[in-house]
Chains A and B, each alone.
Chain A
C-alpha cells in the first residue's frame, strides 16, 4: 500500500469524524444502575412504603412534563421493563401487583397521584422508588401508565406494545 494512499485515507477519516460531530443530546440518560449482581450495601435496597428510609419530600414540581408526548410514553414503556415494573404489573393486567388497566384507583390515576405512588410506595407491597429513579423517569412511567388507560391523547399512544404479540394459537378460551 502506498504512503500517499495512507495519507489520503487518514485525512478522509479525520474529515469523516469531524463531519459526524453532532450536538450532544441526552435522549435517554442512563437509568440509575441498580446493583446488577449482588445487592450492595452502598446502593441500598428498595424500601417498603412508609419507612423512615423513604426520604422523598417534594415529588411534584410543575406537573407532568411528558403529558401528551409520544416520546415520554415510549420511554416510559422501556423503563417499565428496566425497573421490573412489568414483573409485577405485567403490561397492565397485574400479577404480583394490582392491575394498571382499570377504572377504580385506590390512590388516584391523576399524574401527581401516580407520581406519588411510584416515588413513595404504597403499603401493600409497592416499594418506594423515589431514591432510585430520577424524577423525569418517574414522569415518563406515569405517562406510560396513563396511556395504558387511554388517558393520554391517541395521537401520542403507540398502537402496539414492544412485546410478544398474541398468536392465533394462544387466543384465550371463551
Chain B
C-alpha cells in the first residue's frame, strides 16, 4: 500500500528531484532542498478546505514586517521575528500551544539604520538538533532546539559598511550557508559556508573581485562565452568599484544532492545609477552553482549584465526534472526580477527558455545562442530621467517565493505589477549609508492592480491561470497534495485556491497584511495544520510598518508612491494563525 501510494504521489518517477521525501514537518523555509514548498499532506483538499477554521493564534508583539516561515520540528514550532530577531519555540503538544522558551540575540539597535527594506528576517533552518538563523547586525547563531541555549554565534561583518543579514540559511552537508544584504548601501556581496558544529567560517565566496575571491578555479565552466574569462569580476568594473559594487546574496539557496551543487543568485550592482559603473559588473545579478563544502564555483550565468533597474538575481531556484522537447532535463526554474522565467539546465547553466511571466517592457528576450538578455535601449537608466519602466525596481517578482506541485506540474508565482519613473543623479559612496544615485516613483502597471498570483507551466513556458490582487502579492505560496494552494495578501486575506484552476475556495481575514511564507504540517494529533504569520511591512509595506509619509512618493526608494492607500487596508502587527479542519 505504501509503495502504491508512493507511486501514486510521484507518478512512478520517484527519482525526480521534485519528488522529495516528506516527513510532514517543515524544517527549512523552502520545505526541501529542491525548494518546491510542496507538502504531500492531503487531509485538507479542494472539497473540504471551505471548512478550514482558526485553531489558535500567537502574537509576536512586534509591528515590523514579518517575512519568515515558521518551522515545525519534533512537535515544536519555531518563529524568528524581525529585529530584535527573537526566536520563539512553541510547544505544539499542548492545546493553545505555550511558549517553551525564547532566545534573544540582542542585535544592535543601530543595525536598523542599514536595513534597506524594513528590518525583516526570512526565517531559520533546522539541522541536527539546532536552529540556525541570521541577525540583522551580521551574526549567524546556532540555538539548541530543545533547550533554547545559544550554541555558537559568529560575526560575519559590520553594519558600519552598510551590511546586514536578512536571509534564511540553508544547511547542506554540515555547512550553514549564509549571505549578506546591502545592495542599496554599496556593500561587497558574499556567500559563506559555516561549520554547523562550531560556527567557524569554512569559506567565503565574494560576488565581485578577482577570481580567487570569487572562488573561481579550474573547475569553473560557464556555459556562455560572455561569462568566460579570467578575473571578470574585476575587469567588468571601473577600477576599484567592485569593492563597493553590491551583489549581495540575501535570498534563497537550493541544493541538488546528486550533482552536489548549491544554487543561488546575487543582487543588483551598486549604485543604482548604472552610468557610474560602465561594464557588465560581474558577478552582480548572476546565478551561481557552487560546491557546498568548499564554495568553489562550477558555473555562473549573468541574468542582467550592467543592471539598469535594481533587478537582483536573488529570487528562488526551484529544482525540477522535466521532460522538455522530448528529453528529460535536470532544470532549475528561476523567476527573475526582470519578469522572465528562466528554465535552465542546472548541470551546465544553459538557458532553455526565458519567457515573460509578468508585465514588462525592459527586455525583448534572451538570445539563446549567446545567453545575453536583449535589453530595450530606451529603458536603460543613468544620468537622465526615464519614464514608464516596467517592471519597477522590485521586479516582476521580488523575494516572495513560489511553489511547485508535482501533481499539477505548475509553478505558483506570487508577483508584482508595478512600473516606475527613474531620475539618475550622482551617487556618493559614504560607508554605511545608501549608495543609489536615483530618485524613483513606482505606480500600478496597466490594469490598476498591483499584484498577481499565477500558475506557470514550466514545460510549455506560459501562464495557465492568474488571480489579480489589489496590492503586490508579497507572500510566498505553498501547495499541497490536496491540490490546494495557500497564500496571503497585503490587504490581509489568507486564501486557499484550487491549484488546478485558480478558483478561490476559502479565505480568512487576518488583522494585518500577509508578507510571510505559509507552511503546512501534521500536528501531534495526526491532523493537518496550515500556519501563516501576518504583519505587513518589508519594502512594499514600509509605508505602514515605518509610518512613512505619502506626501512624498519617493519614500522607501519610490515604493510609497504605489502604496499610499495601504494604511487604509492594513494596520501593523505580527500574529501567527494556525488553521485546521474542524
Contact = CB atoms under 8 A, between A and B. Distances in A.
Interface residues of B, number: 62
Contacts of A124: 109-110, 112-113
A93 to B, nearest CB: 2
A94 B79 CA distance: 29
A37 B429 contact: yes
Contact of B443 (A37, A81, A123, A169): A169
Interface string B533-555: 00000000010001111111111
Contacts of B441: 164, 166, 170
Interface stretch (B221-229, B284-292, B329-337, B559-567): B559-567
A78 to B, nearest CB: 11
B159 A84 contact: no
A93 B243 contact: no
Given A88-B434, A94-B548, A164 B555 contact: no
B131 interface: no
Contacts of A35: 429-431
Contacts of B275: none
B195 interface: no
B240 A90 contact: no
Contacts of A167: 387, 421
Contacts of B561: 166, 170, 172
A87 B436 contact: yes
A46 B430 contact: yes
Contact of A164 (B240, B423, B549, B556): B423
Interface string A78-94: 00011110111011111
Nearest to A47: B160
B113 A125 contact: yes
Contacts of A34: 428-431
B456 interface: no
A93 B548 contact: yes
Given A38-B244, A164-B421, A167-B421, A88 B551 contact: no
B114 A38 contact: no
Interface stretch (A18-26, A63-71, A98-106, A112-120): A98-106
Contact of A95 (B431, B448, B542): B542
Contacts of A92: 549, 551-552, 555
25 contacts: A34-B430, A35-B429, A35-B431, A46-B160, A46-B432, A48-B159, A83-B428, A84-B428, A84-B433, A88-B434, A90-B560, A91-B439, A93-B551, A95-B560, A98-B547, A99-B546, A99-B555, A124-B112, A125-B114, A127-B113, A164-B440, A167-B387, A170-B421, A172-B443, A173-B448
Interface of A: 34-39, 45-49, 81-84, 86-88, 90-99, 101-102, 123-127, 132, 163-164, 166-167, 169-174
